[in-house]
Structure 1
């Protein structure tokens, strides 16, 4: 019997297209996102990339999303649904490769779960009744009911339940980067709140609680490294698990004025939390008199509206206790507390009285109005317990000013939560005492959630039958002499998410300026753009070859703007797109054969000779990596 002889293939010639994965060799230059395919024979040119531009010019108050569209990163398909175009796809690809790197560091395997899940699974876990209004659901031709997955806990638990049967097969870590769907009533802020979005999900499975807690700490460390590599001023805060379930939860937030959440941090200790878990934990001692009683209580009303627009919500709170500015000019109102009484509240509405006035107008002109209280508009007044205890307090104009025919509407007064406890409608305020150290003062700021970690415990493994065989009553991790009688136990689970598309929008919003976008080096569509006047195309090509020299250990991701347009137009467009570094061949090149190197984020504009340009570009990119 003969065997084939292995033959070593010759190295490719310089004219042969080759592709290699690149990782810098020095510790300082290490950037995991630079693991990428790099062609040694084909230049990256903007003329070969489809970059459609918006015809309309920039508006005076253009936000980051407007610049993303005008620069050609994305286009809106439908309300809350977007197409990612080539530039946007490059940003997302780099972000996903960075996530791949950190997930591999955790020993996680990448999977791809179906975007379609069964309604039956969600009913089995008990979540369908909680989230049914927010999911896209449909029936197939046989009448079976399905959902477009807003999240995949049920599906991945069912998958593991079929495949894992012993503690010896754990720990297991699975992740995916995939599209998800949520029927948002009011999509807004571009990629920040959409109906179709891309998420990175990591699902972990452990045999014991201790092992699951160890996994939780490892993932938190990985998340910290990931957000740090993007240069983001993120804040990790304690959070509620909400409808996801579990007993331990942390959120990762980017402070921004357009954020949906309020986060609080202490001036003295490391305490940081979402305001929703601070209900009733803080106090404002400066507002107490010498008898420890609330002094000079006045009132103010916060107004909201239900999702069906049939209920106007008035939340009455002490005005002196409300110091952080919120919607309708009111501060310190806890939306979480209001939602416990009014779960149908639409907290995204900025001007509820406008919608309410329209509801009342339609109702007043309805010829068959007053059919039943359930079908008629109503006013719901929620009274904070501090005002309820004040004998001088009474509701003033609770229906809202300038609302026609509102006097005949049903008005309901609520002073207790559903569990019978008095209503505490005040949110945390600047200067409140820290509930952990009791010495520091709390700072309150708006923020946008960009990541979330959950220790789920057995929230999904129990109802969906994901169990493993354990050796008797012993802990399989620490006990070396377990009982010989096996037992079945539910798997300990964790879930860890990062909103990929939301993160792209958040970074754009965080770094945008009047001239355009400013991407971190790690996820910029290209690290360096070579711009030349139309009559200097040949010189621009030579500069590209020198900067992108693949024989060097420090490979740089360069693009050549070889489009047949003027140099000023190219420079303005490059500012809009947000390349970290620009190398410009213009009047200085013609006069002195020197190039202009610009880095907007570092505030640098330098004129250097051709042979010095690559070193300067590389040094600037190194500064942008930290």
Structure 2
């Protein structure tokens, strides 16, 4: 039987409750009998959906735009619209919960940082053109911070002077800036982005490593709650510094990182640090001799790499990260290092304090072959040949390929996956505390620099990555924990507004049970707009609500709600009395 509508709502209609989908109704103008403070209605939210035709090969970012989550302001810069802001706020609350579990306090640091601080830590030149720089009216140089290690270290150094003040764990969620040369993939590589940064300060290395372990565990719990197939990879610390770091990746075809994982053991590493067992000698017949060229940032040294590679990989066979571990000053961004080197040689003079140098690096695939005199000929006065690591091991500097043997176990093979980096943890040691004077007194006359950690999560990047990873041909799909709304109720043509409101209330309040999590309240919204029933159903798929509840023909004839969950391929009719349990059961899987 169809539930009876209450008399105090009898004169209302869904059409009279709805506003245009392009104009929000102020809460103060909500019609009587429909308490705006208790019900979320799409007529009251500005949702600029519709009007954009889906492209043939639409990625997640395009779906975010078409569904009304965001709009581009300038290249690599975006405005977050109400739906997008709601997703971002839910993600921030999730992060807040897990940061509280590690005893972190939330702060808000200024987006403007002093260039003088960056000079003290020798990072100003390293970031180079990626920094947005500005001067105030007194010509004091500042920058828009892409990260806040210098500022937070300076702050803490003034407020904590004794080991008794430690440990300190401070985090913020705020806007960061990086002047990307080629912003791309929407929120995945933008010039203005939202990040969570946790900075930790400890008195000893042992305490700092314990903090690092606790934060890593919190990150795993956070990504588990998002129910994403993430990978945790050993990683390079890069420009941030430190000697221990891990990355949290989401496999994605639009990812810019390469992550290798073993199919037999637990080994996972970013391409920068990944190692594989040497390729077997039975492949030697298919290899060709190859010489790769590079140059150092100061243009004083030519780097050549000698190796044997498969013909199909001869264009770019080497792992530049492995070469940087041998020659830290390598500039991997130069397109034609050999031509640049020739100009260096021409400009070099006998009076120069430092003569140009050539370093020849010989990969283990080169075997027992010797470099001929013609190979070693150079216009430089100094030539160095490197054939092994400092530990005496043969060099392995070729890019790792799918199917290479794992170096950590005897039977596994490595799988190469494109991935998006969602989070990164760093043990910094004294990288920033020493140059910035962040010291604490352990006991009388004994002062030591603080041991630091930095732990980031790309908030806006997660939105873009999840959108791309879970989207299908119909639209977006959100994990329930960050979905703009967990459930949308869509009443069909002719359904009384009182019926729609009753279903909404029943879902929102649950069944009143305090003992079962299966029937707890959920975050629900009512689509009370004036558009047609088919339009609203298509729009719900585009927006990506985890669960859609339709009040259609079966509601009118039998009092049944149609429950749809696209990600779980569920479509079934449920009586109102069973609706909360059904919905919570589905949400628990999302």
User: Residues of 1 paired with 2:50 and 2:62: CA distance?
Assistant: 10
Alignment pair present for 1:545 and 2:505: yes
In terms of mean alpha carbon deviation, does 592-601 or 143-152 score higher? Answer: 592-601
Question: Per-residue displacement from partner, 1:523-582 (whole Å, max 9, x unpaired)?
Answer: 000000000124325122221111112773511100000010011111101001110101
Which residue is 1:497 aligned to?
456
Change (3 A) 1:545 1:296: closer
Which residue is 1:109 aligned to?
105
Please say if residues 294 and 331 of structure 2, whose CA atoms lie closer than 8 Å, have aligned partners that are also in contact: no
Which residue is 2:585 aligned to?
619
Please say if residues 233 and 255 of structure 1, whose CA atoms lie closer than 8 Å, have aligned partners that are also in contact: yes
User: Residues of 2 paired with 1:133 and 1:418: CA distance?
Assistant: 33
Structure 1 residue 286: Cα displacement: 2.8
Alignment pair present for 1:599 and 2:571: no
What 5-or-longer segments of structure 1 have no aligned partner? 1-38, 308-312, 324-328, 354-359, 361-369, 375-381, 396-411, 472-484
Please say if residues 278 and 396 of structure 2, whose CA atoms lie closer than 8 Å, have aligned partners that are also in contact: no
Question: Per-residue displacement from partner, 1:425-482 (whole Å, max 9, x unpaired)?
Answer: 52112232322234432222221111110110000000000000012xxxxxxxxxxx
Alignment pair present for 1:446 and 2:421: no
Please say if residues 322 and 331 of structure 1, whose CA atoms lie closer than 8 Å, have aligned partners that are also in contact: no
Which residue is 2:124 aligned to?
128
Which residue is 2:18 aligned to?
none
Report SS of the residue matched to 1:559. strand
Change (3 A) 1:420 1:184: farther
Corresponding pairs, count: 517
Which residue is 1:426 aligned to?
398
TM-score scaled to structure 2, two decimals? 0.79
Match of 1:437 among 388, 397, 409: 409
Alignment pair present for 1:567 and 2:533: yes
Question: Per-residue displacement from partner, 1:490-534 (whole Å, max 9, x unpaired)?
Answer: 000001000000011111111010011100000000000000124
Which residue is 1:556 aligned to?
522
Which residue is 2:67 aligned to?
71
Change (3 A) 1:598 1:140: same
Which residue is 1:408 aligned to?
none
Please say if residues 98 and 218 of structure 2, whose CA atoms lie closer than 8 Å, have aligned partners that are also in contact: yes
Structure 1 residue 617: Cα displacement: 1.4
Which residue is 1:27 aligned to?
none
Change (3 A) 1:143 1:331: closer
Please say if residues 300 and 330 of structure 1, whose CA atoms lie closer than 8 Å, have aligned partners that are also in contact: no
Change (3 A) 1:87 1:346: farther
Alignment pair present for 1:464 and 2:458: no
TM-score scaled to structure 1, two decimals? 0.75
Please say if residues 362 and 385 of structure 2, whose CA atoms lie closer than 8 Å, have aligned partners that are also in contact: no
Question: Per-residue displacement from partner, 1:159-187 (whole Å, max 9, x unpaired)?
Answer: 00100000011111000001000011111
User: Residues of 2 paired with 1:303 and 1:511: CA distance?
Assistant: 41
What 5-or-longer segments of structure 2 have no aligned partner? 1-34, 298-302, 348-359, 388-394, 515-519
Q: In the TM superposition, what are the counterparts of 1:404-419 in structure 2 within 5 Å? A: none
In terms of mean alpha carbon deviation, does 132-141 or 256-265 score higher? Answer: 256-265
Alignment pair present for 1:286 and 2:245: no
User: Residues of 1 paired with 2:293 and 2:561: CA distance?
Assistant: 59
User: Residues of 2 paired with 1:194 and 1:305: CA distance?
Assistant: 29
Over aligned residues, Cα RMSD in angstroms?
3.6
User: Residues of 1 paired with 2:294 and 2:557: CA distance?
Assistant: 65
Change (3 A) 1:246 1:562: same
Structure 1 residue 331: Cα displacement: 7.4
